[in-house]
Amino acid sequence: MIITSPDFKNNGRIPVQFTEDGENINPELEIRDIPENAKSLVLIVDDPDAPAGVWVHWIVFNIDPKTQKIFKNSIPDNGLQGQNSFRIDDYSGPSPPSGTHRYFFKIFALDTKISLNEGASLEEIERAIESHILCKAELIGLYSR
């Protein structure tokens, strides 16, 4: 499985539009080579360089496994949003306090749908997907103010 974006290259700079310094909307993402037996996808966007530890910017689960594109400023097909570290169920773009941070856009293909409600925490989602991951891919974007 592969995740890419037409808006930035892997290990490239995330454009300001997709950060809290800009429009604070999600970038377009493209997903290829999804396993045929996948029942759902999970997207987790996080910043492992945050001073307080890993900071979650976006969680979307139960995405339709036929989804090949997540459009700018949109929630993927049938996706439910989990609670991010800002305590909201939505996308919150990069906003590093200092220095360059890495933002990991991780996509997981699962052999099941998750039985959780919108607003589920990262911990709940990680427990729910633990033994159901068929494969994973990631795209890394960089941002500094």
Give the pLDDT band of residue 12 (cuts 50, 70, 90).
very high
What is the predicted pLDDT for the residue at 46? 98
Look up the CATH architecture of domain 2-143.
Alpha-Beta Complex (3.90)
Q: Give the dihedral sign, CA 9/10/14/18.
A: positive
What is the predicted pLDDT for the residue at 145? 87
Question: Residues 125-135, buried b or exposed e (16+ Cβ, 10 A)?
Answer: beebbeebebe
**Span 18-33, mean pLDDT?**
98
pLDDT tens by residue, 54-101 = 999 999 999 999 999 999 999 987 899 999 999 999 999 999 999 999
| Calpha distance 120→109 (Å, rounded) | 18
- The domain segmentation of the chain, as residue ranges, is 2-143
What is the predicted pLDDT for the residue at 78? 87
Structure tokens given for 123 = 């911990």
Q: Which among 14, 35, 39, 33 is positioned nearest to 96, based on CA atoms? A: 14
| Calpha distance 135→34 (Å, rounded) | 9
